[in-house]
Chains A and B, each alone.
Chain A
Amino acid sequence: MDFSLNEEQRGWQVEARKFAEEEIRPISIARDQIEGGLEPWDWNIIEKGSKLGFRTLAVPKEWGGPGADFVTQAVVMAELAKGDSAMSKAFSQNWKWSHLIASACTDDQKERFLKPFLADHRYVMGRGITEPNAGSDNRMPPEDDPKAGFRLRAVRDGDEWILNGEKCFIANGSVGSLFFVDARTNPDVNVKQGGTLFMVPKTTPGFRVGKVFNKRGWRFYQNAELIFENARIPHANVVGGVGGAAKSGRGDNTGGDLFGDLELAANAVGVCDDAVQMSMTFAKAHKRVGKYLFEQQLVQLKLNEMMALTEALRSYVMRVAWMHDQGTHSANAGLVMNWSTDVIQRVTRLNMEIHGAEGCMMNARVDKLVRDAMVWTHLAGDTVQRVKILKRIK
């Protein structure tokens, strides 16, 4: 066994740490405290990070990207998240779809979409699965029931498909240039057989962004409604085959799904690192009735728990990243994602307990970490997500 990072991985880690400390962290609270859904977003930080390669990190080398491995991706996500969890996610969200394009798209599609993605520092992507009544928060629908799953309708019209319906909470929805959208091409069969994945550029006629969601946590990160009113998509934008949404979008052959599980867990490591560091600094600098908090046993026990949980999560995340690089797939990716919910919630809560409130005031970053952590409860640790992972355990 060898737990050390190689030179390239270490290089990305140092670069990400520097960018997080010098560029992300200084604006983190200010962006978080801007009212509204779209308003906290800042293209400036995306452009700066993009120039250093953080937007395109997962694009394969043969297509002109850095082609970073999973271990590097996990390390970079954690470093960026230590500066700001939501900003880290805004970068890594693009990696997910870089994996998908690389593994599931035709050369023609790569030419049309991967090249502009690489060329434009403001080109970001998202995936639309969730709908108001269907999606990742679905309460275990009977899988073979045609009524279960997404309902957005796609009807063939010559060389085009006409899409009608809406997607909800879509990542990068309000700022994205390209969306991968799951639609029902056959509503009479189950979603695996009747679902098809489309590539939808934001300029598509009949397509528009609806409500931009204003969230408690991850305020920088964008989630929006996508509205389709007779939106016309060329057949050439179908990913994989018609009726192959499940295979092309969710199957392990794309890397997209595996990465998605790793993404939230790796991001949580960065948030926990931040919380541990904040608590240590605070406990050594602040006294209660004449004694440093660091010398109080109850505080020591909290610090111990925070550190143990954070290191255990890091170990699990790195093991899963390593397994992905070896091409080994297991339920661990899902399990570590679920568990990261418990860890990030507990560690950010303990950080709040150690800081406490002073008078009628609370450190804004302590509160932010708790708010960001709450996002995990429905993205990563929802009971549905936890139950679904069991299907991967053979």
Chain B
Amino acid sequence: MYDLQLTPEQLEMRETIRDFVTREVKPPALHPTRLEPFEKPLLADVLTQASQMGLRMLALPEEAGGAGADCLTSCIVMEELGAGDVDVAMALAHTSGLARSIFDGLAPEPRKRLLQQFIGDDGYHLAIAAYDPAAQAGWSYHRPLIDDHEPVPTAVKQSNGDWIINGTVSLVPNAPIAKLIAVEVRTDPKKTGSNGMTTLLVPRETRGLTVRPQVKATGATRGNDEAIIRWHHGPAAAVAFEDCRVSGDHLVGKEGQSTLARGPAAARGLVEVAAVNLGLGRVAYETAVDYAGIRRQGGRNIIEHQSIGGKLADCAIRLELARNMIWKAAWVLDHPDVQVGSGAELPLHVVARVYTAQAVHEVTLLAAECFGAMGVMRDMPLQKYVHDGMVFFHQDDSDDAAKLRIAEALAGYERPLAQTA
């Protein structure tokens, strides 16, 4: 049965993280000297502290040395972290999620060795250079997919079993901090789309692996002098492989059958990102409620003015609905064999992501409006919450592509295999 009652363990974990965020994350994250500049370096000390609390290994199975959190518990934790700092939260969500999925596909000996390294080093993060040809599939609405994905790295097996990887991936979340990078490579050049793809693990120090510098917050250009800004939560960078050799035992799962970018692990990741997004909306809302309770105008605290009360109620409604959707999607992923009734035919993880991004965007704007002019001042947190909320619109595919994917699902449309552009 679908159950919204949190367990004592979940409640305790939530309290622990909330306390950590209040004491350790918010003070550095919201300091005016960090809020004002465009460039906001990752809070490395906070990330280390979170790691020491076990959050890097949150979803790693207990048998392997982690906390074994299911998707719902992970979402509860991610909401709290998102209320503190979205970049730290996203970095941890990536590492924790990958820890759960990539080690299990290894042979016993390399699994043990890499797990030991991972567990023993608080600065050991994980990344995946994933290939998802269906990422923009919604735009091919009710039509076969045209694969216009950037070229995928290739790998060729050597006589001793090693692999040699060549190619680049333009956006790899967590790459700047990762000590182990999973990469989906094409190992069967005769196949297209998702077929013939293999996942290999590449340690950071491997010769031939280059993590490019992260795109600057502002000041960069591309193409015809188009000014661009960084639009991403958490560390991310391009990764290049040049005759990069990895041992044959760094193969995850079976050759030619990589599923990481498309399976339940990806769906789970999407719901956890939505939970980080939710945390962001919640902290904007809580900040506005606190302020409205002390700011006096017109002889009373502004929370007692209808126009402010209406805004805050709108925030509360949206956040409650978003959390319900996230928890439901998480619960369904945690119980794959259970029939959930309504909505079963829908990709609930996509529904959760799209609704949360829209809801939180509105919440951050409404919260900022409660602050009047202070809502746009760069030494105050509200303008950052608004900006962070907008970036979540594009954290996976665009809203429109996602909606079209939902529409295809409800129509029962099954897309034929990808065609090459």
Contact = CB atoms under 8 A, between A and B. Distances in A.
Interface in A153-172: 168-169
Interface in B374-388: 375-379, 383, 386-387
28 contacts: A33-B227, A130-B373, A133-B297, A138-B298, A139-B305, A140-B297, A140-B305, A141-B298, A145-B299, A147-B299, A148-B298, A216-B377, A287-B148, A289-B148, A290-B146, A290-B148, A291-B139, A353-B399, A356-B394, A359-B232, A360-B230, A362-B230, A362-B231, A364-B226, A364-B227, A365-B227, A367-B229, A378-B369
- Contact count band on B: 35 or more
B139 A382 contact: no
Interface of A: 29, 33, 35, 130, 133, 137-142, 145, 147-148, 168-169, 213-217, 223, 287-291, 296, 298-299, 345, 352-353, 356-357, 359-365, 367, 370-371, 374-375, 377-379, 382-384, 387
Interface SS of B by simple majority: mixed
B161 interface: no
A33 B302 contact: no
B398 A290 contact: no
Question: Nearest 9 CB-CB pairs, A to B?
Answer: A139-B297, A383-B307, A357-B394, A360-B232, A137-B372, A362-B231, A364-B227, A290-B146, A216-B383
Interface string B84-100: 00000000000000000
A387 B227 contact: no
A353 B305 CA distance: 34
B373 A169 contact: yes
B226 A363 contact: yes
B38 interface: yes
A364 B400 contact: no
A138 B383 contact: no
Contacts of A296: 139, 400
Interface string B335-379: 000000000000000000000000000000100110011011111
Interface string B382-419: 01001100110110001111011000000000000000
Most buried by B among A215, A298, A359, A364: A359
A371 B391 CA distance: 13
B67 interface: no
Contacts, number: 150
Interface string B211-247: 0000100111010001111111000100000000000
Contacts of A365: 227
B148 A140 contact: no
Contacts of B365: 345, 374, 377
Nearest to B384: A216
A216 B403 CA distance: 30
A378 B375 contact: yes
Nearest to A214: B378
A378 B376 CA distance: 9
B228 A361 contact: yes
A27 to B, nearest CB: 12
B38 A33 contact: yes
A383 B302 CA distance: 12
B140 interface: yes
B4 interface: no
Contacts of B368: 374, 377
Given A148-B298, A289-B146, A364-B228, A35 B37 contact: yes
A360 B136 contact: no
Given A289-B137, A352-B390, A359-B171, 14 more contacts: A137-B373, A140-B298, A145-B299, A148-B298, A148-B299, A289-B146, A291-B139, A353-B399, A361-B229, A361-B230, A361-B231, A364-B218, A383-B308, A384-B307
